[in-house]
Amino acid sequence: MRQHVNPLSSFYQVERDLSPLGELFLDPNLPLHLDIGCARGRFLLAMAPQQPQRNHLGLEIRRPLVQLAEADRERLGLGNLRFLFCNANISLERWLANLPPGCLDLVSIQYPDPWFKTRHHKRRMVQPALIEALAGAMAPGRQLFIQSDVPAVINQMLEAVESSAAFEPLDGGAWLQENPLGLATEREWQVLDKGLPVYRRLYQRQGRCASGDQALHNPSAEKSLAERSARP
């Protein structure tokens, strides 16, 4: 069962200072993988030793899960992995703006809390402002991976990504049959074990026009309503 916290409550609306890379990682010059909404962190705890060529940072709004994940990381002695507590929609933008150019190599957002009730949709993590902040910190060619098992949630995520006009799909506009990261989250294993579908998309940060102030044309942002209605 998912354990929710209300990201709009006053406690989670406080911006929290996130440590710079030099205080987080043994080698802060490695490319960075940012996993937003990392939950208990087992996905990154498995990935970090498999991909030592990257630093991996997990962000999570549920502090107890961060504390458990950090305890495991310390026990394993993983210098290329850290977990931080924050509300990404409040605390991440300023931190991203201060990253060294070209540092952010990969962003993954996997199985965010669905908040099924219509009046709670504004609590969903993936909002256009978050995608814009990520795009501003990513160099052309860097990748954004999103997935969910809830059709309404993945469709909202697609809307936010495509409306930014900063990303182009690397999956031909179709759902990925396999996870391109090669490791499944706990939620993903639960869904697959039940034989239920997973909706995955992989995007690449687009380049910019010569003027440097306008994103390149993004055909995926101009899909018709009829095409959108064909999604799950």
Catalytic residues: 113
Q: Could you give the CA distance from residue 135 to residue 129 in angstroms, rounded to a whole number? A: 10
The answer to whether the beta carbons of residues 63 and 130 sit under 8 Å apart is no
The residue written with tokens 């990303």 in the block is 167
Beta pairing, strands 138-148 & 199-205? antiparallel
Closest CA to 36 of 70, 59, 5: 59
Q: Is 56 exposed, middle or buried (0-12, 13-18, 19+ CB in 10 A)?
A: buried
User: Which long-range CB contacts under 8 A does 213-219 form with residues at least 24 apart?
Assistant: 215/164, 215/165, 215/166, 216/165, 217/165, 218/162, 218/165, 218/166, 218/167, 218/168, 219/168
Residue 55 near residue 88, CB atoms below 8 Å: no
